Amino acid sequence: MVKRREFIKRSLLGTAGFAIGGLGFSARSYANILGSNDRINISVVGLGKRQPSGWGAMGSKYVNIICKLKKQLNIQIISLCDVDEDLFPLNNKMVSDKTGITPKNEWDMRHVLDDKEVDVVFFATPNHWHALGHIWACQAGKHIWDEKPLGHNIREGRLMIEAAHKYNRIVQVGQYRRAVPNAQAAMKLLHEGGIGDVYMAKVFNYKRRPSFGFALDSEPPKSLHYDMWLGPAAFQKYNEKKLHYNFHFHWNTGNGDIANHGVHQLDLGRWGLNENEHPISVYSDGGIFGWKPNECSQETPDTQSAIFKYADGKILQFEDMGHYTNGVGSLNTRIGIIFYGTEGYLEFDYHSAWRAYKKDEKEPFDKREIQDPSRQDLLITNFIEAVRLNDKNKLFCNIIDGHYSSTLCHLANISYRLGRNLKFVGEHEKFSDDDDANLMLFREYRMPYKLPNI
C-alpha cells in the first residue's frame, strides 16, 4: 500500500464552524495534497435501507461500487456513517469482504468531518440534510459527492455553491447519465444541429410507485438517533412510513418524485436544450390519484406535469406518472426524453439508447442501441480523477449544473403547491412580485441546527 502524504496545509475559518448541541467542533479546515499514487480515503454518509420493492439504499450502492473500484482507482472506504446503527453490520461486511478492511462507524457526521484521514465524503442522506452536511464538509476541507437534488430548496443550493467556491472544493453531483458515452454522443448531435434548432424537450418519468402504506406515529427504535435524523427539518413525531426511502414523498424531508427520479431526465432535457441558466416561468399541476389518504401517508403528487419556459423561447416539459401507462415513441419510452428540432426529433430512453429522425422519415439517421456500462461507475471514476487532478473542469456534473437542474424541481413544486404560474428572475433567484412564492425559496431551520455564514 502506498503511504499517504502528510496533511501540510491548515487554516482557520474564523468563527463559523460546527458548534451544534454539545459537540463543539473548532472552526478548522485542512487541505491535503494528493498525488497520482496516493490512496484516497472515503467516508459514505447515509447508507439507506432497502425497501421490499427494491427501492432505496443509495448509500449502500455507493459502498458496493467504491469497493469494486478500490484497486483500479486506489481508493478505500475507511468509515461509514448513518443515524440508524442497524445499518452498519451489513455494510461493514460488504466493505470487509471486498477490501479486507473493517470501516469505522459513526452515527454523527460531524465526527466523520473532523477525521483528518477522510479525504472525500459521499453524501446519500435525505434531502433535508444535503445543504448542511455539504457546507460542513466544505469547511472541513473534504471533497464532496452530493446526491441529487442539490439542497432541499433553491436558496440552499446557492449556499452550497458559495461554500464550494469559498473553500475551493471539488464537488460532483450524482447526475450519473452525464458520464454515459451514449448520452454524450446524443448531446453532441443535438448541439451541432443534427435535428436543426432544438426548441423543445419533453421529459417522461413514467415509473410506477405502489403505495408504501400508512402507519400511526410511534416511538423510534433504539438503534435510530431520531433527533439527528430530523436535523434541521421541522420536528415531527416518528413514523415508520416517513423514513428511509419514503422521506422523498413528504414535504418536510423530501421533494417528491420529480426531485428523486425525474431530476435525472430534467437534467438531460436541459442539457440537450443547451440551457445553462434558470427558466423565466414555470407552471405545474397534478395530484395524488392512486390511493385514498388513509391508504398512504404520501404528501407529494404521484402525478405531476410542469412546463418551463426559457428567455430564448425554448420549452422544457415534464410529465410524471406513478401508475399504469404505456410508453411513448418508437422506443416505448417510459423514462426518458424526446427532443424536438426544426429538422427532426431525437428519442432518448432511460437506458441511454436513442434514435434520431429527420423530418417525417421512418428510419433513424443515427442511433445508439447498445447499453453503456454502469453509469454510476463512470461518474464515480470521473469524480476521483478530478479530485486527484484538483481540477473542477474535469467533472461531468459540477455543482452549477446540479443547481440548475435541481432548481427546476423546486420551481415546479412551488408552482404546484401554490396552484399558479410563476415568473422567475434567474439573476436574483427570486420570483417576480410574489411574496408567497419567495417565502418558499428557503426554510426555517430547527434549532440548534443552523447554516454557518458563508
CATH of the domain at 318: 3.30.360.10
How confident is the model over 432-453, as a mean pLDDT? 95
Q: Which residue has the higher pLDDT, 188 or 323?
A: 188
269 & 323 share domain: yes
426 & 365 share domain: yes
Q: What is the mean pLDDT of the chain?
A: 90
> Which range marks the domain in which residue 414 is found?
178-374+402-441
What is the structure's pLDDT at 290? 86
The verdict on residue 386 lying in a domain is no
Strand order in the sheet with 143-146: 104-106, 75-81, 40-45, 120-123, 143-146, 171-173
How confident is the model over 145-156, as a mean pLDDT? 97
Helix or strand run (H / E) with residue 336: strand 335-341
157 & 189 share domain: no
For the record, the C-alpha cell of 39 comes out as 490512496
* pTM of the predicted model as reported, rounded to 2 decimal places: 0.91
186 & 123 share domain: no
What is the structure's pLDDT at 198? 98
Among the listed ranges 15-19, 382-386, 407-411, which one has the minimum average pLDDT value? 15-19
153 & 273 share domain: no
Does 5 score more than 70 pLDDT?
no
The answer to whether 397 and 409 have CB atoms below 8 angstroms apart is no
284 & 264 share domain: yes
Does 28 score more than 70 pLDDT?
no
Does 1 score more than 70 pLDDT?
no
Helix or strand run (H / E) with residue 91: helix 88-99
Where does 100-222 have alpha helices with state H? 109-113, 130-139, 154-166, 181-191
Phi then psi for residue 439, to 5 deg, are -70, -20
How confident is the model over 264-286, as a mean pLDDT? 98
Q: List CB contacts of 200: < 8 A, sequence separation 6 or more.
A: 273, 314, 315, 316, 317, 339, 340
Does 47 score more than 80 pLDDT?
yes
346: β partners = 339, 356
pLDDT category of residue 291 using cuts at 50, 70 and 90: confident
Q: What are the tens digits of pLDDT across the range 85-107? A: 999 999 999 999 999 999 999 99
The verdict on residue 450 lying in a domain is no
Q: Tell me the C-alpha distance between 330 and 354, whole Å.
A: 10
What is the structure's pLDDT at 27? 34
The verdict on residue 454 lying in a domain is no
Q: Domain count of the chain?
A: 2
Q: Tell me the C-alpha distance between 209 and 257, whole Å.
A: 9
219 & 359 share domain: yes
Residue 162 burial by Cβ neighbours in a 10 Å radius (0-12, 13-18, 19+): middle
Q: Which residue has the higher pLDDT, 335 or 53?
A: 335
How confident is the model over 189-194, as a mean pLDDT? 98
How confident is the model over 300-313, as a mean pLDDT? 97
pLDDT category of residue 9 using cuts at 50, 70 and 90: very low
CA-wise closest residue to 138 among 27, 258, 275: 27
Does 34 score more than 60 pLDDT?
no
How confident is the model over 266-279, as a mean pLDDT? 98
The percent of residues in the chain predicted with pLDDT above 90, rounded, is 81
The DSSP call for residue 39 is P
Q: List CB contacts of 243: < 8 A, sequence separation 6 or more.
A: 49, 224, 229
> What is the SS3 assignment for 449?
coil
144 & 87 share domain: yes
What is the structure's pLDDT at 60? 87
The DSSP call for residue 3 is P
253 & 362 share domain: yes
What is the structure's pLDDT at 30? 34
What is the structure's pLDDT at 162? 97
146 & 235 share domain: no
Does 140 score more than 60 pLDDT?
yes
How confident is the model over 320-349, as a mean pLDDT? 94
272 & 189 share domain: yes
The verdict on residue 203 lying in a domain is yes
What is the structure's pLDDT at 50? 59
What is the structure's pLDDT at 71? 95
How confident is the model over 291-305, as a mean pLDDT? 92
Among the listed ranges 106-110, 294-298, 400-404, which one has the minimum average pLDDT value? 294-298
159 & 200 share domain: no
Distances in Å between the Cα of 185 and the Cα atoms of 58, 179, 190, 194, 359 are 27, 11, 9, 11, 20
The verdict on residue 216 lying in a domain is yes
What is the structure's pLDDT at 35? 56
Q: Which residue has the higher pLDDT, 451 or 51?
A: 451
What is the structure's pLDDT at 3? 36
Phi then psi for residue 241, to 5 deg, are -90, 5
